[in-house]
Amino acid sequence: MKTISTPVNRTSFYLGLLFFATVLCLFSCKKDDTPGTDEVKGEAKVKMINASNKSGQVDFYLDDTKINVVTVNAGQASDYVKVQSGVKSTYVAIDGVADTPTSFNFVPTLSYTSFYVEDKTGKGEVLTFEDNLGATDAGKAKVRIINLGPSFSNALNVNLAGGVLLVNSLPFKGASGYFSIEPDVDLNISVLGSSANKTIAGSEFEAGKIYTIWINGASNATLKINKVIYN
């Protein structure tokens, strides 16, 4: 018997093809419908510092993986460690007891310094700052200041010898931007509204070097200057 194709049959056939093609397109284009969701993978570097006045032995963790090779005691710094980039849960364990985690996004190829710090009540957290390891100005040192002293009566000022103000009212957990200084020029760090101050001798700085100066102490009277050299 001869089969006769009707317009209705042909229409149904083409509609079916169109539906199938549309479904395929939706699945193949789904990834492109949400731009910006792909996470760039790679490695970052992080240096760890125990900036607490009274904590015990500290181990640093990213997403439940310990990243320091040697336990970091109070005032000590680790070498840089390579870590996978991306948003990570960061926390420490003090004498084996885990602290409350925070989150930080580590960007591939960048370098960071993470500080463990405690507030007046003894509550701890990890603060992470991006490091600028680019070239210094010719004949100068590159410096930033970080205030990690929870018990100071006020914010910190940083002046060059002679009174030139470099950093104004730096609060607890605050970091200054990087600035360049001539070697052999003293830096004075003071607690606003008090007589508490310390001087970093200019002889401690070397042209071409990069420094983080972090300040802590249990009180104004015990203000302590700590120095990290990156190169």
The strand pair at 187-191 and 156-160 is best described as antiparallel
pLDDT at 208 over 50: yes
Residue 90 lies in a domain: yes
Looking at 84, 113, 131, which one is the last position of a domain? 131
Percent of the chain with pLDDT over 90: 70
pLDDT value, residue 162: 81
Q: Which domain holds residue 103?
A: 41-131
Q: Tell me which amino acid residue 164 is.
A: V
Q: Among 10-14, 51-55, 177-181, 210-214, which stretch is predicted with the lowest mean pLDDT?
A: 10-14
Which one of 112, 131, 150 terminates a domain?
131
Q: Is the pLDDT of residue 9 over 60?
A: no
pTM: 0.81
Tell me: do 121 and 173 sit in the same domain. no
Q: In the listed set 131, 153, 171, which residue is the last one of a domain according to the structure? A: 131
Same domain assignment for residues 104 and 46: yes
Of 75, 46, 44, give the one whose Cα is nearest residue 58.
75
Q: What is the pLDDT of residue 8?
A: 47
Residue 7 has pLDDT above 90, yes or no: no
Most confident of 38-42, 80-84, 97-101: 80-84
Given pLDDT bands bounded at 50, 70 and 90, which one contains residue 25? very low
